[in-house]
């Protein structure tokens, strides 16, 4: 994960974080499970909808948004620990 800190004011900073796909992949898989448990598709049990059908029904963008929201807290905590240990 690459990150950069930009000081805006003495009390505000801007964090720029780039998360590689390898780190995002587990969050995407978890997001598909979450979305599958929330939607009903005829012919499939709740939570057992294939990812391709989820992409068709709700869109890949929604799944990615869910994955990012789920992973955001962990990435923020990791970055925070790195910044605290930096001189």
Q: What is the pLDDT of residues 15-39, one digit of tens each?
A: 888 888 898 899 999 999 999 999 9
CATH placement of domain 20-85: 3.30.70.1050
Q: If you average pLDDT over residues 55-75, what whole number do you get?
A: 91
Which pLDDT belongs to residue 87?
Answer: 58
Which helix (H) or strand (E) segment holds residue 13: the answer is: strand 12-18
d(CA 70, CA 67): 5
Nearest to residue 19, comparing CAs of 61, 74, 59?
74
Q: Model-level pTM greater than 0.85?
A: no
Give the count of beta carbons closer than 10 Å to the beta carbon of residue 44. 13
Structural domain spans, the chain:
20-85
């Amino acid at each position: 994960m690459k990150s950069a800190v930009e000081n805006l004011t003495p009390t505000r900073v801007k964090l720029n974080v780039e998360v590689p796909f390898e780190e995002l992949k587990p969050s995407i898989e978890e997001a598909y499970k979450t979305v599958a448990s929330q939607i009903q598709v005829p012919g499939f049990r709740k939570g057992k909808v294939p990812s391709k059908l989820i992409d068709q029904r709700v869109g890949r963008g929604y799944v990615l948004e869910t994955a990012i929201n789920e992973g955001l807290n962990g990435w923020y905590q990791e970055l925070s620990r790195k910044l605290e240990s930096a001189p």
